[in-house]
Structure 1
């Protein structure tokens, strides 16, 4: 029996395996003869290779040998530190975007000031052109 868990960051599977041996009297649980110590020692490594080869998906099976055993409080503390670090990185990115937006805002304001000056000068030139034309026509 197995179950795929989708409730965490990485979907994962828990597999429950019963080492059953067929005997004259029927099926019998027999871990020692069906799955030996050597089989258990290589099970996860073999599973990784099989999944990678057959499915083209590299997975990482973690066991007590591949991850350090931690108390629940230490695990939660490490997880919170990791989340805090990620949040600090996000805040840093947001501050960078905010600074960039502020610089763009100042540039845009300077552009609008220049545009206002341009329109005022254009209006003055237009007024001068009309008065010059009027003065010229009166002669």
Structure 2
């Protein structure tokens, strides 16, 4: 993960010297994942800014990566804002935000988000089972 950060910084330096090397929709998710894994919130925010400047802020793979990064860095307001603005949410989007709220003990918030899902699936109860809330997971399963 540290190598990913080093390569990113080298790309930025090359960009400043008018080189054509710059992260894109394929490399940003890996970079964001590295920030999440190393809990580098400030660098993650900087990368998020670069994503926005590149016009990739509406790419759902990048948005999912950003949600994951912000939740791992305990910046739930940023994660929730991205989640709310997403035009296209998939199982990863839903599960990331629900499971993190549940892990933080914010079960009502997690449940509200879960209840707003239009397409509940087995994967959707994963967040509850990851934090040993099997009764809640069973309740959700029975509602499906």
Give the TM bin, normalised by the shorter chain.
under 0.3
Greater relative contact order structure (CA < 8 Å, 6+ sep): 2
- Please, what TM-score do these two structures have when normalized by structure 2? 0.25
Structure whose residues are more often strand by fraction: 1
Larger Rg: 1
